[in-house]
Amino acid sequence: MTLDPIHVENIARLAYGIAGDVDTTDHDDLAGRVWRDWLPELRRDGRVVIEPVDGHERRRAPIDDAALADRPFETVHGLDSGTINPTTFKNGLVVDVAHAAMASAPSDLDLHRDRTIVATVHAGDSTASFDGEWRERDDGHTRQRVLHAPRVNRYAEGVVHALALYLAEGTHALDHANEVDDLLVLDGPIYPKELFTWDDRNPELGALAREAKPRAVVEKYVRLVERFVERDVPLAGFVKNPSSGTIVRALARKGVEPPWPDDTALFTRLLERREGDGEGERGGASGDGGAPGDGARDGRPDRVDDELTFTTWFRSRGGADATMAADGDALGIERELDPELYEPTFMVVYDPRTDVTYKLEAPYAFARNPEVRDRLTRQVLADVATTRGPPEAVGKADELARISATEKAALRRKFEERFDSDQQATYDDRRWGKEPY
């Protein structure tokens, strides 16, 4: 059944009661105050968690000019890893399979053929062992292995997913690092931050993150940074759906009630421009500390969509980024460079055409250099202006690594046959048509 028109109208009327209690002007004022007074050096428990790399500005760039500008990097490589999603079987096994690929712009078809595949298995039987060595397939174009996940009482699906995803991605990136001459952009953060958040979920998961296998996965990303620093080739990560809450949590600890659910919502508020915003209060593409979005709003004026707006770069040492901060312990992994060089840095880009906010990350080893920061900024602006989304190389890698719904279903059936055990189905699987019945 569908809702009758009267039901739709009644539900819509609820919005009037909600909107009447929300003063968006107050949100604008608070966002501007956060930017001016706190983000230059945001502390939590006396520790600086967010601070500018150099300068503290919001800027804007005409979209047409950015799209037509010369690219600072002649070639860009992108890397992504896709999975079939965790699957539980009636025999007690929980499995996920990840499939990593690297793409380049301009295209390199031989490179696109190379894949790294990891199947991670969790078993309730403590006597079982599924670990395997790396094996080559497809005339050496594919490397694959089985990883037996450490045993946990809960969160088995999350564990197999994270370990498969990041082991495939980190291994593929290291194996093909020497093929990148100008710039590598990971599809997502520069570190396996999902593993870093295990501490916050459960003490058992926090202890698990420091066991040998998870630490070996994280170590690949540490070595990846070192490899690219040694080769003087920038490494970055394009985060399509940033979800950090470092800033809003720090504000809450200071007694400020942030109205934003996460940092992305705050930056969107800071970067969005609407008709009637004070022109004199906005910074140009070269930046003057101006503030898109600080102007007063009367209702909801049309969004100004002819310019990308973006921030300068910040160093991040809070939340999941604390693990790789200079004063973090990197899960006990030895860092061969100055620890501060591994710290994550980021800048934020807002595309008004799609109303989407992105984050570009890079290790401080690269972001400390003003010329590299400028090149990374101009590259991501040009890419977003052109594609209305991720950089071309990242989009290609996403297409190569993605496992379609039909392929996922076929692979799960193969596992059922091999295990001689059905998937553990749920009512929602049938209700939402996740698997054919």
Torsion angles phi and psi, residue 173, rounded to 5: -65, -45
The confidence score (pLDDT) of residue 157 equals: 95
Q: How far apart are alpha carbons 358 and 65 in whole angstroms?
A: 19
- Say how far apart CA 86 and CA 91 lie, in whole Å: 15
* Residues 166, 149 contacting (CB under 8 angstroms): no
The H-or-E segment that residue 166 falls in is helix 156-175
Per DSSP, 292 falls in state T
pLDDT for residue 154: 87
DSSP 413-436: HHHHHHHT--B---HHHHHTTSS-
CA distance 33 to 370: 27
Paired residues of 147 in beta bridges: 120
Distance of CA 76 to the CA centre of its chain: 18
- The length of the chain in residues reads 437
- For residue 150, the model assigns a pLDDT of 94
Query: How far does CA 210 lie from the centroid of its chain?
Result: 22
CA-to-CA distance for 375 and 236, rounded, in angstroms?
Answer: 12
In terms of Cα–Cα distance, which of 118, 124, 198, 200 is closest to 166? Answer: 118
For residue 207, the surrounding DSSP H or E stretch is helix 203-208
Residue 8 has what pLDDT?
Answer: 82
Are 175 and 79 contacting, i.e. CB atoms less than 8 angstroms apart?
A: no
Q: What is the pLDDT of residue 6?
A: 86
| Cis amide linkage into residue 106, ω under 30° from 0 | yes
pLDDT of residue 279: 45
Largest CA distance in the chain: 69
Residues of the chain with pLDDT under 50: 279-291, 293-298, 436-437
- 433: Cβ–Cβ under 8 A, 6 or more apart, which residues? none
CB 147 within 8 A of CB 167: yes
The rounded distance, in Å, linking the Cα atoms of 39 and 410 is 49
Predicted confidence at residue 431, as pLDDT, reads 66
Q: Buried (b) or exposed (e) across 61-90, using 16+ Cβ within 10 A?
A: bebeebbebebbbeebbbbbbbbbebbbbe
308 forms beta bridges with 61
pLDDT reported for residue 111: 93
Per-residue pLDDT at 79: 98
The predicted structure's pLDDT at residue 370 = 98
According to DSSP, the residues that pair with 99 across neighbouring strands are 82, 117
Q: Where are the domains of the chain?
A: 28-82+186-399
pLDDT per residue over 265-293, tens digit each? 999 999 999 887 754 333 334 444 444 54
